[in-house]
Amino acid sequence: MNDTISEAPFDDSGALGAPPEVAESPWVVMKFGGSSVSSAANWATIAALVRRRLDSGLKPVIVHSALAGVSNQLETALQVAVRGESPDELASIRAQHYALAEELGLNGTLLLDEMLHQLEQLIAGVRLVKEASARVQSRIMALGELMSTRLGVEYLTRVGLPVQWMDARELMVSTSRTGPHRVAAYLSATCDFEPDEALQARLADTGKVILTQGFIARNESGATVLLGRGGSDTSASYFAARLSARRLEIWTDVPGMFSADPRLVPSARLLTALHYDEAQELASAGSAVLHPRCISPLREFGIPLFVRSTTSPEIAGTVVSSVTDEVEPQVKGICMRDGLTLISMSTVGMWQEVGFLASAFAVFSKNDVSVDLISTSETNVTVSIDTRDSSLSADVEASLVQDLQPLCRVRIIPDCSAVSLVGRKIRTIVARLAPAFEVFEEERIHLMSQAANDLNLSFVVDRQQGPRLVGKLHATIIREHGGSTVFGPSWERLFASDEASARAADAWWMKKRETLLKLAAEQANAYVYDKASVEQAARSLLSLKNIDRVLYAVKANFNADLLRA
């Protein structure tokens, strides 16, 4: 076990605005994502982190996800089985769990075969009837967390930690929902999160570290329900609130929240401290680090949230609390959220008609569909629906359209993405942001929405446009260095290799290094062009055989010597 890890210290919860019952609480909830629980190296780190909490006199509760990629594989297996076909994913899921068990020195067959057999039986049933109810989907998806936590508790016990496995469905009960479409009640359930002294006593009586599942709960009838994709964050937040925990630690594969998705923008910068409302907006706008629903329980009871990386525990990451020194208007993040469907409702009759919106939104309520963004004009109302939790299935969409048609003309615009600017007092800096909005000049904007809390300005575009727009906006708005203290180092700086990944030894600036250094000593600012390199590039273009002619934009560079070259 890795007892020599370096870990960044935690700020005192009291200094972060937590009330005394939270700041002095012995409970700490530690949530580990799928990537964090999928390798033996990470499990060694987890064991060391848990042991440190115990050595500090704290009572850790571990909540963790399914192994990386397993939930996606289970979803795919369901889709294949509904077509009456046999999914290959089951063999892959079995192999992935067995491989990790072997890596951890555990008997995967003994620990998991009963649940793997249950999975195969459930999928066989779906194949037979060629349909999967929300209730069956919940049972199948829950097996990912149930299997992974069996491996986790066995490993931690084997390395000498006092750990007890508990079924989250015995600890967490969803709130009831009504409506003709009960899909959301099973696939995107919510739970109460009031402080629970009975739960605190029950867990404390074990005298052990509690390890349980994220993502799953049960309803009042005892059936398995899910908290929505990414719902393990929400589970951990519910537990933290019910235990009045000192803090919630979310351990993932990135060391905090960034100003953009580092996979799209490598220069994205670490956000070192955020207020709850800013973190909520970033999560809701598409930041994949946190589930949007996990913030509310923490904010209500003043519980600080720390986002850190299992592979880099020495990085302090992002702290989310009620305390922030940053109050100046500025954009802190640029996010993209996929999986949106737009519902456009048009009719001249809505002009000054009393009650149109009430009638329209009553239809959404009747069909148990939650509206996300809204844009209105005299003859049109367009709303977005987040479909990532399967809340807008084909039958729900058909029912929604049918119920809306007596009121207006309905148009469905699928496969959209929302690109959002998130920060404080966005309205006050719109003029300053105007040059950045030129990136939308050639793009079709289906919907634009300004958040009432002045924390978010969103543009809904076709999905394929999103990544490019995020990159351009970030380059225009967020500085690469310096700026506000809330901005930490960039992803590139945090994880840059000590050695250059490539060295262009034959590049002209390497060959003419001494000349360039001499010029730099003589002139503080200068544009330098290498005529030979320009001529070589021009000859390469002219030698292309599959083009008729080469054009040069003079406005790109009108230097006379370059034009002659």
Q: Which CATH number does the domain housing residue 424 bear?
A: 3.30.2130.10
Residue with tokens 């780190």: 45
d(CA 244, CA 249): 14
Q: Are residues 488 and 554 in the same domain?
A: no
Report the pLDDT value the prediction gives residue 319, as an integer from 0 to 100.
Answer: 97
Q: Are residues 484 and 390 in the same domain?
A: yes
CA angle 250, 253, 258 (to 5 degrees): 80
Q: What is the DSSP letter of 271?
A: E
d(CA 523, CA 528): 11
Amino acid sitting at position 315: I
Q: Are residues 416 and 512 in the same domain?
A: no
Q: Are residues 49 and 175 in the same domain?
A: yes
- Which domain covers residue 519, as residue numbers? 508-564
Q: Is residue 359 part of a domain?
A: yes
Q: Are residues 490 and 514 in the same domain?
A: no
Q: Are residues 58 and 198 in the same domain?
A: yes
Q: Which CATH number does the domain housing residue 193 bear?
A: 3.40.1160.10
Q: Select from 224, 253, 282 the last residue of a domain.
A: 253
Amino acid sitting at position 161: L
Q: Is residue 327 part of a domain?
A: no
Report the pLDDT value the prediction gives residue 533, as an integer from 0 to 100.
Answer: 82
Q: Are residues 411 and 524 in the same domain?
A: no
Q: Are residues 374 and 472 in the same domain?
A: yes
Q: Are residues 245 and 384 in the same domain?
A: no
Report the pLDDT value the prediction gives residue 502, as an integer from 0 to 100.
Answer: 40
d(CA 87, CA 119): 12
Q: Longest C-alpha distance within the chain, in Å?
A: 84
Q: Is residue 426 part of a domain?
A: yes
d(CA 452, CA 462): 24
Neighbours of 312 (CB within 10 A): 17
Q: What is the DSSP letter of 16?
A: G
Strands (E) across 425-522 are located at 447-450, 456-462, 487-490
From residue 463, give the alpha-carbon distance in Å to each of 159, 264, 322, 372, 443. Answer: 47, 14, 34, 17, 11
Q: Is residue 550 part of a domain?
A: yes
End-to-end CA distance of the chain: 64
Give the total residue count for the chain: 565
Q: Is residue 271 part of a domain?
A: no
d(CA 396, CA 389): 13
Strands (E) across 70-145 are located at none
Q: Select from 469, 495, 521 the last residue of a domain.
A: 495
Q: Select from 448, 473, 495 the last residue of a domain.
A: 495
Cβ pair 97, 67 in contact under 8 A: yes
Q: Is residue 280 part of a domain?
A: no
Q: Are residues 372 and 479 in the same domain?
A: yes
By DSSP bridging, strand 247-252 and strand 269-271 are: unpaired
Q: Are residues 233 and 190 in the same domain?
A: yes
Q: What is the dihedral of CA 489, 494, 496, 498, to 10 degrees?
A: 110
Q: Are residues 236 and 364 in the same domain?
A: no
Q: Is residue 118 part of a domain?
A: no
Report the pLDDT value the prediction gives residue 389, as an integer from 0 to 100.
Answer: 66
Q: Is the pTM of this model over 0.75?
A: yes
Q: How many domains does the chain have?
A: 3
From residue 317, give the alpha-carbon distance in Å to each of 239, 257, 308, 310. Answer: 22, 7, 5, 11
Q: Is residue 549 part of a domain?
A: yes
Which of 417, 415, 431 is CA-nearest to residue 459? 417
Which of 162, 314, 164, 310 is CA-nearest to residue 250? 310
Long-range contacts, 92-100 (Cβ 8 Å, 24+) = 93/119, 96/67, 96/69, 96/70, 97/67, 97/147, 97/148, 97/151, 100/38, 100/39, 100/40, 100/67, 100/151
Mean pLDDT, consecutive 10-residue stretches, the chain (565 aa), reads 81 96 98 96 97 97 97 96 95 97 97 97 96 95 98 98 98 78 83 96 97 96 92 96 98 95 92 94 89 94 97 96 81 92 88 83 90 88 84 85 93 93 87 83 85 88 90 87 82 70 57 82 79 81 74 74 74
